[in-house]
Amino acid sequence: MLQPNLRANDFLVAESASMRAVVAAVDAYADGEAPVLVCGEHGTGRELVARVLHQRGPRSCRRFIAVRPTFEDAPPSGPHRRRASDAVEEDDCERARRALRAAAGGTLLVKDMSDLSGLSQRTLRRAIAGRAGDCSGELFDVQVVATADLDLERAVAASIVSRDLHDLFRARRIEVPPLRDRLEDLPALFERWIKHYAAEIGRARPTVSTRTYVRLAEYPWPGNVAELKSIARRLVVRVDRPRIEAGDVDEVLPVVAARVPLEDLAFEDMVKAKLSVLLARLDGYPVNDLYDKVLARVERPLFDLVLAHTGNNQVKAAEILGLNRNTLRKKLADLGLPTRRAGRADHALDGE
């Protein structure tokens, strides 16, 4: 989340095609009128996009209020101070109306639409539609922006989010891509956060080596831009040299196993990968015949494929396998007629 005192525009980097599309949508919807939905994974900068939308529109001189779906963090409106007992007694509708009053003339950002209560959804829907709130008799001059994850449609289908409320946002939807899909923006984003945190602690901005950017681009960024921001802060604090190197990044980035396409793995590597998962799943269970079980699980598909290749001709199959025909026949009988129920190790080998 961007701190309110920072200029949102300075941190909206759009060198990638996907982010240029986001900026184009922001400019198209920055009229301060109809509601806007900003979708994306957590940490992608959805609130940043909402703040830029506010700053570029006619409501920029008024307040930008960001609230959680419970509305419990909405600032009090009106000249009077509420008693603690009043706050406790407020229901969802009143909290929603209080947030709308606080953002009067400006923009109200409601985070995570899928977590809104039914009553709050009804109040927002009526406010957006230009009708009075439930029983307050109020009209609200405010642009409502909401954030949501990419499963919003499923929440609507499950009746978690009102279809009527969702329909009010449908025409103006901005999808913020994950960082892994906009790596062209990573160097500029990283540089800006490095500059920001260096200025915060009063040190000269360190430079960043080319190999550092290579290393950053190799990481999958499950936490998106929010994680990049955190890594930048940690590096500024940890590295007292004038240059950040790839080794510095290795010390702070989590170790993530690289995903390699199955067809690119050597056979031995595939076997090792499967067995490592098996051993982890068998931890704590008594196993004393793993060798035989593994061999049996390799033999079954091997014999099936070879027999299919030879049209079930066991003589040809035995020749391909380099086995005596009687040995092959015995193995087939042994594998086809189990004498006991499959144990824990058998199921673990199946990967179920």
- Tens digits of pLDDT across the chain (352 residues): 445 445 666 678 999 999 999 999 999 999 988 999 999 999 999 999 999 999 999 999 999 999 988 776 666 655 444 444 444 335 667 788 888 889 999 999 999 998 888 888 888 888 887 644 444 567 888 999 999 998 899 899 989 999 999 999 999 999 999 999 999 999 999 999 999 999 999 999 999 999 999 999 999 999 999 999 999 999 999 999 999 999 999 999 887 655 556 556 666 766 776 777 667 666 666 677 778 777 777 787 888 888 888 888 888 888 898 988 888 888 888 776 332 334 444 443 334 3
Produce one character per residue of 275-310: b if its CB has 16 or more CB atoms within 10 Å, e if not: eeebeebeeeeeeeeeeebbebbeeeeebeebbeeb
User: Which has the closest alpha carbon to 190: 277, 257, 248, 260?
Assistant: 248
CATH code 1.10.10.60 region(s) in the chain: 262-350
Beta bridge partners of 38: 147, 174
How many Å separate Cα 247 from the centre of its chain? Answer: 27
CA distance 286 to 316: 40
Q: Identify the architecture of domain 262-350 in CATH.
A: Orthogonal Bundle (1.10)
Contact 30, 67 (CB under 8 A): no
Beta bridge partners of 110: 67, 146
CA distance 196 to 190: 10
> What does DSSP assign to residue 285?
S
Distances, alpha carbon 305 to alpha carbons 138, 232, 266, 310, 312, in Å: 74, 53, 19, 9, 10
CATH code 1.10.8.60 region(s) in the chain: 180-252
Q: So what's the pLDDT on residue 123?
A: 83
Containing H/E element for 143? strand 143-148
CATH code 3.40.50.300 region(s) in the chain: 8-177
Distances, alpha carbon 80 to alpha carbons 75, 76, 86, 132, 311, in Å: 12, 8, 12, 23, 88
Q: So what's the pLDDT on residue 257?
A: 53
* Residue 204: Cβ within 10 Å count: 8
Contact 142, 104 (CB under 8 A): yes
**Cα separation of the two ends of the chain:** 40
What type of residue is 287?
Answer: V
| Superfamily holding 8-177 | P-loop containing nucleotide triphosphate hydrolases (3.40.50.300)
Indicate the angle between helix axes 118-128 and 163-170, nearest 10 degrees: 40
- Rounded to two decimals, what is the model's pTM? 0.66
Produce one character per residue of 125-136: b if its CB has 16 or more CB atoms within 10 Å, e if not: bbbbeeeebbeb
Q: So what's the pLDDT on residue 317?
A: 85
Q: So what's the pLDDT on residue 147?
A: 95
Q: Could you tell me the fold of the domain covering 180-252? A: Helicase, Ruva Protein; domain 3 (1.10.8)
